[in-house]
């Protein structure tokens, strides 16, 4: 089973700042199978990025994804008030989906 480790656990930033979230896999993951989600309290997760770097429909271009192999990154170029939330990375391998433990982005 591929284990995804996200860092940091909590990111404290101000609106307008840049957020960089990391997702590290325990073994190499195909970029095709790496996605990022945003979750706000009381809501279902929302797909942000798929294929490691493709934005989902309706996702603002301040969100971007990059990386390959075992190291992937979600970047929010300038934080808007609505971006403070929990972010999860996810991968698919050998008929099994796994999620990272999440990074919480909070207002500083």
Out of 14, 61, 81, 96, which residue is the one contacting another protein (CB under 8 A)? 96
Number of residues that bind another protein (CB under 8 A): 25
Given the rule CB under 8 A, which of 11-19, 63-71, 76-84, 90-98 is the region that contacts another protein? 90-98
Out of 19, 21, 25, 35, which residue is the one contacting another protein (CB under 8 A)? 35
Burial 19-53 (b: 16+ CB within 10 A, else e): bebbbbbeeebebeebbbbbeeeeeebeebbbebb
What's the burial of 61, exposed, middle or buried (CB within 10 Å: 0-12/13-18/19+)? exposed
> Contact 14/67 with Cβ under 8 angstroms?
no
> Contact 87/37 with Cβ under 8 angstroms?
yes
CB of 44 to another protein, least distance (A): 4
Residues 36-65 that bind another protein (CB under 8 A): 37, 39, 44-47, 50-51, 56-57
Q: Does 85 bind another protein (CB under 8 A)?
A: no
The residues binding another protein (CB under 8 A) are 1, 32-33, 35, 37, 39, 44-47, 50-51, 56-57, 88, 90, 92, 95-102
């Amino acid at each position: 089973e591929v284990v995804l480790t996200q860092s940091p656990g909590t990111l404290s930033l101000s609106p307008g700042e840049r957020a960089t979230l990391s997702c590290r896999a325990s073994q190499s993951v195909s970029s095709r199978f790496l996605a990022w989600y945003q979750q706000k309290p009381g809501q279902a997760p929302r797909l942000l990025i798929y294929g490691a770097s493709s934005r989902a429909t309706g996702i603002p271009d301040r969100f971007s994804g990059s990386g390959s192999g075992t190291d992937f990154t979600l970047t929010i170029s300038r934080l808007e008030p609505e971006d403070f939330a929990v972010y999860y990375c996810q991968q698919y391998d050998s008929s099994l989906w796994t999620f990272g433990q999440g990074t919480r982005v909070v207002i500083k």
